[in-house]
Amino acid sequence: MPLLANWYDLRDLGNGVARLIEALRDAGAPDGLIYAITGLLGAVAILLFVGLAAIINIWIERRLIARIQVRRGPNRVGPFGLLQPVADALKLIQKEALQPNNADGIVFTLAPIVIFIPVILAFAVLPWGEQMVLADLNVGVLYLLALGSTTPIILFMAGYASNNKYALLGSMRVIAMLISYELPMVMALLGVVTFAGTMQMSGIVDFQQTHWSWLIFFQPLAFLIFLLGGTAELNRTPADIAEAESEIIAGFHIEYSGMKFGLFYAAELVNAVAMSGIIATLFLGGWWAFGLEQWVPGWLIFISKIYAVYFILIWFRGTLPRFRIDQLMAFAWKFLLPLAIINVFVVALEVLLWREYELSAGVVLPVAAVVNFALAGVLIAGWARVMGQAFERAPKKPRLFSEIEVPLPDEAAPEAGSGQTEPATV
């Protein structure tokens, strides 16, 4: 791509900004001003997207869940119910934001506001196109992980300040869960970073572009681990124990009402988009899609990838029951973490061989892909078998009897009763 394309070249919105920088520079503006103006432009663009996504996602999620649940979903307000989120938001704004008597007022009010900060900050390092990165940090991956670690503190602020027992339980759960899932996620990303050789988000996309392949093909195990860890990080089914509706009702945000609740809700949706964006960048090539980006704007490709991942998250939510907290911890520590560590070792070995013997990428990468896929399959199946529990082996069909048969207390139980018949349907 030429360095300075026409500003109206929609394939990369960065072109326009580059033209603007050029014009400002020609006019003799100081560097600080240029920096501020371009930064502001990018920030406004991202905030626009985030705001729109928060509104659209409510509709998308509700419609899709409704489709999964054989019902129609919101379809009354506006065409196809598209204005439903607006109506919801208006209702939430009108509602009184209650605050419990014994709550810690400042923290209670602060939590729903603060929760948006790490979510929005995450968008800064995501590459939307070749030149469309707001802050192309060379430690982008580390930055994202650091942002993710601040979320538990904010959720704990919300739960603790509410002075509610359910909220306390919810925030206890959220801390335990998020800290546990941090580790496998970091380990999974370590594999990706080792493979790509950079922590820069645009660098990782470049790597995928250079080698004409997405990283998911080289790192399937890391992708799975990151996706599962991501659902936990997002508090979504099957790991929504922090707000488990059927157990602790809404967990940490049980006492919030009105727009304070709305902020939590929106932050959750935007968080899902951010997580989908991270996955799309790291594993699915970001804005790059096998040459398709020559014709379709890269940011559109990126957004469609985000929504593809988001669809998987919604699908999870519509299908799976919820883990119990100890099972969720066990899943992180006994299943995901060992696999992630093994993955890191294997990747390190591959990269070492590649760099040490200066093999050509055309040879190493296909071999690495095959090896990693095989490894992922074997490890997941094998580990599941080793860690598999007795409940899997117990019979799942009820016994069928055609006659009543209750033994006296000192007689044997009707284990193989005479009246027992074979199940009619298997």
Partner 1 sequence: MAIKTEPLVVNIGPQHPSTHGVFRMRVTLDGERIIDAEMIVGYLHRSMEKLAEERTWTQNIPFTDRMDYLAAMTGNLSYCIAVERLAGIEVPERAQYLRVIFAELQRIASHAMANGTFVNDCGAWQTPLFYMFREREKVLDLFEMTCGARLTLNYMRIGGVAFDLPDEFLPQLRSLLDELPDRFGEYEDLLIDNEILLMRSRGIGVLSPELAMNASMSGPMLRGSGIVWDIRKADPYCVYDRMDFDIPVGHTGDCYDRFVVRMEELRQSVRIIEQAVEQLPPGSHLADVPLNLRPPKGEIYSRIESPKGELGFYLVSDGGPEPYRFHVRSPSLLNLSALREMVVGQTVADAIVTLGSIDINVGEVDR
Partner 2 sequence: MAATTRIGGAQLAEHIEAGVADAIEETAEDWVLVRPERLVEVMTFLRDDRELDARYLNALSGVDHFDYFEIVYHLSSLSHNHEMTVKVRADHDEPEAPSVVSVWHGAHLQEREIYDLLGVNFSGHPNMKRIFLWEGFPGHPLRKDYMAMPGGQSPGLRRFPKEDPEQWAGEFRGD
- Residue 392 engages partner 2 in binding (rule: CB under 8 A): no
Size of the site for partner 2 (CB under 8 A): 7
CA angle 34, 142, 291 (to 5 degrees): 70
Candidate segments 44-52, 95-103, 167-175, 279-287, binder of partner 1 by CB under 8 A? 167-175
**Residues ≥6 apart with Cβ < 8 Å to 97:** 256, 257, 258, 259, 260
Provide DSSP, 327-395.
HHHHIIIIIIHHHHHHHHHHHHHHHHHHHHTT--HHHHHHHHHHHHHHHHHHHHHHHHHHH--HHHHS-
Q: Which residue is associated with the tokens 């020559």? A: 294
- Residue 404 engages partner 2 in binding (rule: CB under 8 A): yes
> Which 3 state secondary structure label does DSSP give 415?
coil
Given candidates 20, 56, 121, 249, which one binds partner 1 under the rule CB under 8 A?
A: 249
Choose from partner 2, partner 1, none: what does 101 bind? Cβ within 5-8 Å by kind. partner 2
Given candidates 30, 377, 407, 419, which one binds partner 2 under the rule CB under 8 A?
A: 407
Task: CB nearer to partner 1: give 64 or 83.
Answer: 64
Residues 97-136 that bind partner 2 (CB under 8 A): 101
Task: CB nearer to partner 1: give 91 or 399.
Answer: 399
What is the C-alpha separation between 372 and 129, in angstroms, rounded? 29
- Residue 408 engages partner 2 in binding (rule: CB under 8 A): yes
Given candidates 26, 96, 356, 403, which one binds partner 2 under the rule CB under 8 A?
A: 403
Task: CB nearer to partner 1: give 22 or 245.
Answer: 245
Contact string 351-390 vs partner 2 (x = CB under 8 A):
----------------------------------------
> Which 3 state secondary structure label does DSSP give 420?
strand
Q: Count Cα atoms within 13 angstroms, Cβ side, for 247.
A: 17
Choose from partner 2, partner 1, none: what does 28 bind? Cβ within 5-8 Å by kind. none
Residues 281-340 that bind partner 1 (CB under 8 A): 317-327
Provide DSSP, 301-333.
HHHHHHHHHHHHHHHHHHH--PPPHHHHHHIII
Question: Is the peptide bond preceding residue 409 cis, with omega within 30 degrees of 0?
Answer: no
Q: What is the DSSP letter of 137?
A: -
Residues 378-407 that bind partner 1 (CB under 8 A): 389, 391-392, 394-406
Token pair of 385, please? 């078998």
- Residue 406 engages partner 2 in binding (rule: CB under 8 A): yes
Choose from partner 2, partner 1, none: what does 408 bind? Cβ within 5-8 Å by kind. partner 2
Minimum distance of partner 1 from residue 398's CB (angstroms):
4
**Residues ≥6 apart with Cβ < 8 Å to 315:** 64, 68
- Residue 409 engages partner 2 in binding (rule: CB under 8 A): yes
**Residues ≥6 apart with Cβ < 8 Å to 29:** none
20 CB neighbour count, 10 Å cutoff: 15
Candidate segments 218-226, 233-241, 304-312, 366-374, binder of partner 1 by CB under 8 A? 233-241
The residues of the shown chain that bind partner 1, judged by CB under 8 A, are 65, 68-71, 165-166, 168-169, 172-173, 237-238, 240-241, 244-249, 317-327, 389, 391-392, 394-406, 409, 413-414, 417, 419, 421, 423-425
The residues of the shown chain that bind partner 2, judged by CB under 8 A, are 101, 403-404, 406-409
